[in-house]
Amino acid sequence: TIEPVAACGVALESAGAAIMQRKSTEDIGEQIVAASQALSRLSEHLFDPESQAKCQRAAALMLVAGNNLLGKEEAPVGKSWLKGGRA
């Protein structure tokens, strides 16, 4: 198997186990971030540009989710945050 596929699978299974064991959101977030990194590495092995882009997008969204669980917030971009909006 391709190493990033196995690493992503292990990280997602670990996140699922952490949820079932009612572990902290930090533990779950760390596993989601690890899965995101593996998915990003997987995208490097894809030859189809569309598939590669979809894999990279999924990795980016997974990273955001993991960071949210870890309590890391993204820095606001632009000035919309001044009016209480989201960046």
d(CA 14, CA 6): 12
- The structure tokens 């009612």 sit at 22
d(CA 13, CA 7): 10
pLDDT digits (tens, 9 = 90+) for 21-72: 999 999 999 999 999 999 999 999 999 999 999 999 999 999 999 999 999 8
At 17 the three-state DSSP class reads helix
pTM, entire model: 0.80
How confident is the model at residue 73, as a pLDDT? 75
Q: Is the pLDDT score of 87 beyond 60?
A: no
Confidence bin at 86 (pLDDT 50/70/90): low
